[in-house]
Amino acid sequence: MNGQHTIRVTVNGIRYERSAEPRLLLSDFLRQELGLTGTHVGCEHGVCGACTVLLDGSAVRSCLLFAVQADGHAVTTVEGLSSGDQLHPLQQAFHEAHALQCGFCTPGILLSLIPWLEEHPNPDETEIRAALSGNLCRCTGYANIVTAVQRFAAGAGSR
Amino acid sequence: MTSRYFGERVLRLEDTRLLTGRALFVDDVQLPGMLHVAFLRSDEAHARITSIDVTAARTRPGVIAVYTAADLGDYWRPGPLLVPPPPIQGLVFNTATQVPLAKDKVRHAGEPLAMVVAESRYVAEDALEDIQVDLEPLPAVTELEAALAEGAPLVHEQFGSNLAAQVRQTKGDYAAARATAHTIITRRFHYDRGASAAIENRAVAAQWDARAEELTIWDTTQAPIPIRNGLAPMLGLRESQVRVIAPFIGGGFGPKIMMYYPEEVLVPWAAMRLQRPVKWTEDRRENFYATTQERGQLHDAELAVAKDGTILGVRDRFLHDTGAYDPYGLTVPINSQCTLLGPYVVPNYESEFTAVFTTKPIVTPVRGAGRQHGVFVMERLLDFAARELGIDRVEIRRRNLIPRDAFPYDHEILFQDFRPLVYDSGDYQAALDKAVEVSGYARFVREEQPRLRREGKHIGLGVVSYIEGTGIGPYEGARVTIEPSGTVRLATGVGTQGQGHFTTFAQIVADVLGVTPDAVQVTTGDTREFSWGSGTFASRGAVVAGSACHAAALKVRDRILTVAAPLLGVPGDELEISGGQVRVRGATDRAIGLGELARKANPLRGAVTPGTEPGLEATAYFGPDRGNTANGVHAIFVEVDPETAAVTILRYVVVHDCGTVINPLVVEAQVQGGVAHGIGNSFYEQLSFDENGQLLNASFMDYLLPTALDVPTVEMAHLETPSPLNPLGTKGVGEAGAIPTAAAFAQAIEDALPDSGLEITEMPLSPCRLYELLVAARERRTDA
């Protein structure tokens, strides 16, 4: 448990080298060591999905990974989706469909959906709901999130 | 007011910060030298504390301090009673409020025993393992009736029983009405606890600035100003030395209006004592024990009806589970007592409740705040009466609705805001008619359902009405400032938990000041920005704070006209304000920008007329005479598998009336979210305590929140009956969606299985519980 390990990780295109205890969660590493607090922690047991980030392009629960497991990998967090106020098209769709209220679960939902939408560019509502079912949202009742995803998918062809 | 944005579907102004991860939540606060806290919590629900030995924990490397109740000295004291009981004759109330760390005795599992402050949360949690605690278990108090029985173990010995409160409110003469009734419907109803389950757990961070002698507290609270007002004297500080910031809050749903939680009281104290910033963030398991909960009630109710279904009276006696302490007074059970009357004429009412201490987590309002129970009891009684009298369930409701010309309608009892329960306005017939129309009730019942039944499909429809008392006092305030940049700054005291305040308040102000909503910068929940107000609760933000924003903007509008008139050389009433300018009406070239006007209103040299105030700024307050009453009708279509008891929601229709709508986008989303919460409370979410007061499902693995697969997209229709109690005509909507869901659910399930003998008198259900009820109903029929 003791001892520090060196972690070399690329997050949102920036290379970081930090040392950390092997037990440090990736979520805590991102938030506390790198100051990327857009990754939110809701349950720390892998159910709510708020802490979802991309590890080499795949959606993972950062509360279920240790930071050392990200050594040598590339991570994308919500901070890496937009450039300034220029939103990612899915973020824009969330805004236009009023798909967020308190916004706490939103970063994890965005990052769960982005790789999934790459593989499922034309999902129907049932598929969208199934894809969303791994993320908990207490505010919205999900309807507008479904709409946002539909809006994004409909617009994807024109991008 | 030339309305341009009020009532429009304005996209939210706060979204970009939230979508990009820039929005500050309390756990995001990280300061140099910050220390982290973990709490040792009781494993027992009820126990005497024999000893706590923290010696080993204190010596662990990285541990800065460990505190028990004994270490708190004079700082250890029970929290204040947050909501005193209303002035109801004969009311009994025994006050027992939560303590910062348990001393002598623990009264619910999860009650904090010791606080560890360390260099990291990891080390703090390690140190919890070092603490030696001896607890002598006492029998738990978990069942409401047993809790009141002679010889029951006592949660608070000083009261000699577990009775926390007793309240009786009556109207008319129920006994006389009962004697004339054609039919009496008598049932027992049970509602159990659920979790509020905001995805953001609670958190508190505090920093003492010794140079400035100022304490800053970041807190996941719905009530930053009262937190400041309460903590300052506790900590020996002036109010002006304490700044409480409720930044973005990741969902409130009620428990974040509970105040002076142990962690909230201890973290700032430790930051001052240790002279370092200190932070505590609740984890999900803690949230299931340490954050307040709601909904345990047991009702014995009866409805006296005439042959035609006219309500003659209702009698209800109920027990309310207040948990281990009762800091929030009687808000929840009084809401139940009042909301039972619903949109109906109930000439005679006799309602008595007993609040009961149990060895379970503390009960304070959770979205709906007791209103669910009242609606469930009344709507179920009407369903059973309709069945027994052979009257259509919509028709029995229609016959009893308060007529549209009967407002203001006085129910002759007191509401939670200490004011008479007088409904301000509404059109309940219109709402019911609309729901019948949108849901296709008549055709479904007459044609579709019989056809579906012939096809072997078990599809049921539930239609229920509800009212919600919203927008209560005392007051909120707002300050509007036009800055030299032309930006309008709006500061108000209420905190925000996702309701869209940054947008709706901006819409209100934008229309008055002739600017676009995005020119209005809204600050909420920071006591340095605005320090008068009470908080976000009882669906009151838009009503009370919104009205204050409106009043402040009107005052600034007057200032603009006063300052601009001499500059533009015409009287104020010949000026108009639009597009960020004030101009002479009809003369587009004689104008001055609001920013420039703000500069001119703040001269550096020269003389002004004595009595002149600088700048374009005003503060205003709004306090309603009493709360207003929103209403609606929910209709739900479900399919039930009679073998497995699996339930699928096919359609969900909501007709609601929250008065004048500021932003339909926001209102619809509040309703949709509320319905999701209601669906959870009806069918998935139940906090399961065993006989020892142990929570058996304290994780999101075991406590099921509805997912996107469980919540349909609600079909909505708005009605707008403006409230006469505020200048905007608005009523609250935050809790509405969650209130009647269980009642609708129960009716629909019974309707899907009409020959099963099933009668649903308890909530929440689960697929398993519904299955058990179905089997029991089947056995009853076989026996018969």
Residue-wise pLDDT for B699-718, tens only, equals 999 999 999 999 999 999 99
Average the pLDDT over B653-669 and give the result. 97
Tell me which of A98, A114, A116 to substitute to probe the interface with B (most B C-beta atoms closer than 10 Å): A98
A76 CA: distance to closest CA in chain B (Å): 12
User: Has residue B432 got a pLDDT over 80?
Assistant: yes
Confidence of residue B563 (pLDDT cuts 50, 70, 90): very high
Cα separation, B418 vs B702, in Å, equals: 39
- Domain at B554, CATH number: 3.30.365.10
Same domain, yes or no: B505 and B519: yes
Please give the CATH architecture assigned to the domain spanning A5-80.
Answer: Roll (3.10)
Q: Percentage helix, strand, coil, to 5, in chain A?
A: 35, 20, 45
pLDDT of B398? 98
> Which residue of A21, A82, A143 is in closest CB contact with B713?
A143
pLDDT of B767? 83
Residue B686 within a domain: yes
Domain boundaries, chain A: 5-80, 89-156
Average the pLDDT over B135-158 and give the result. 98
Cα separation, A92 vs B19, in Å, equals: 9
pLDDT of B1? 45
Tell me which of B14, B20, B123 to substitute to probe the interface with A (most A C-beta atoms closer than 10 Å): B20
- Which secondary-structure segment (H or E) carries B776? helix B767-783
Give the pair of three-digit tokens for residue B86: 């209303």
Same domain, yes or no: B504 and B462: no
Find the residue in B nearest to A143 (Cα).
B713
Which of B605, B622, B639 is the last residue before a domain boundary? B622
Which of B622, B656, B680 is the last residue before a domain boundary? B622
- Give the A:B interface size as CB pairs under 8 Å: 179
User: Has residue B766 got a pLDDT over 90?
Assistant: no
* Cβ pair B669:A98 closer than 8 A: yes
Tally of domains within chain B: 2
Same domain, yes or no: B675 and B691: yes
> Which residue of A40, A78, A98 is in closest CB contact with B12?
A98
What single letter denotes the amino acid at residue B342?
G
A63 CA: distance to closest CA in chain B (Å): 12
| Half-sphere exposure at residue B573, Cβ-oriented, CA atoms within 13 angstroms | 0
> Which residue of B248, B499, B675 is in closest CB contact with A141?
B675
* Cβ pair B284:A136 closer than 8 A: no
Same domain, yes or no: B600 and B632: no
Cα separation, B391 vs B752, in Å, equals: 18
Average the pLDDT over B756-777 and give the result. 94
Same domain, yes or no: B430 and B512: no
Give the pair of three-digit tokens for residue A108: 């994890």
Same domain, yes or no: B567 and B458: no
**Residues B680-702: pLDDT tens digits?**
999 999 999 999 999 999 999 99
* Cβ pair B700:A136 closer than 8 A: yes
Same domain, yes or no: B467 and B484: no
Residue B746 within a domain: yes
Which of B622, B654, B670 is the last residue before a domain boundary? B622
pLDDT of A2? 62
* Cβ pair A141:B701 closer than 8 A: no
Please, what is the angle between helix A106-119 and helix A125-132, to 10°? Answer: 130
Residue B278 within a domain: no
Q: Could you check whether A5-80 and A89-156 share the same CATH topology?
A: no
* Rg, Å, chain A Cα set: 16
Same domain, yes or no: B506 and B358: no
The set of residues, in sequence order, having a beta carbon less than 8 Å from that of B579 and lying 6+ positions away, is B514, B515
Tell me which of A142, A146, A150 to substitute to probe the interface with B (most B C-beta atoms closer than 10 Å): A142
Residue B741 within a domain: yes
For residues A120 and B494, the model is more confident at A120
This model of the complex carries an ipTM of 0.97
* Cβ pair A133:B22 closer than 8 A: no
Q: Provide the 3-class DSSP secondary structure of residue B386.
A: helix
A158 CA: distance to closest CA in chain B (Å): 22
* Cβ pair B19:A129 closer than 8 A: no
Same domain, yes or no: B326 and B367: yes
Contacts of B123 in chain A (CB under 8 A): none
Same domain, yes or no: B388 and B347: yes
B22 CA: distance to closest CA in chain A (Å): 6
> Which residue of B30, B498, B672 is in closest CB contact with A141?
B672
User: Has residue B587 got a pLDDT over 90?
Assistant: no
Confidence of residue B784 (pLDDT cuts 50, 70, 90): low
Find the residue in B nearest to A127 (Cα).
B709
Instruction: Determine the structural domain holding residue B729 and report its residue range.
Output: 297-472+625-783
Parallel, antiparallel, or unpaired for β B242-245 and B214-219? Answer: parallel
Cα separation, B705 vs B769, in Å, equals: 17
* Cβ pair A48:B198 closer than 8 A: no
Residue B317 within a domain: yes
Cα separation, B582 vs B556, in Å, equals: 12
Cα separation, B651 vs B460, in Å, equals: 11
Q: What is the pTM of this model?
A: 0.97
A154 CA: distance to closest CA in chain B (Å): 19
> Which residue of B23, B665, B709 is in closest CB contact with A103?
B23
Residue B519 within a domain: yes
The domain A89-156 is placed in CATH, from the list 1.10.150.120, 3.40.640.10, 1.10.287.3510, 3.50.50.60, at 1.10.150.120
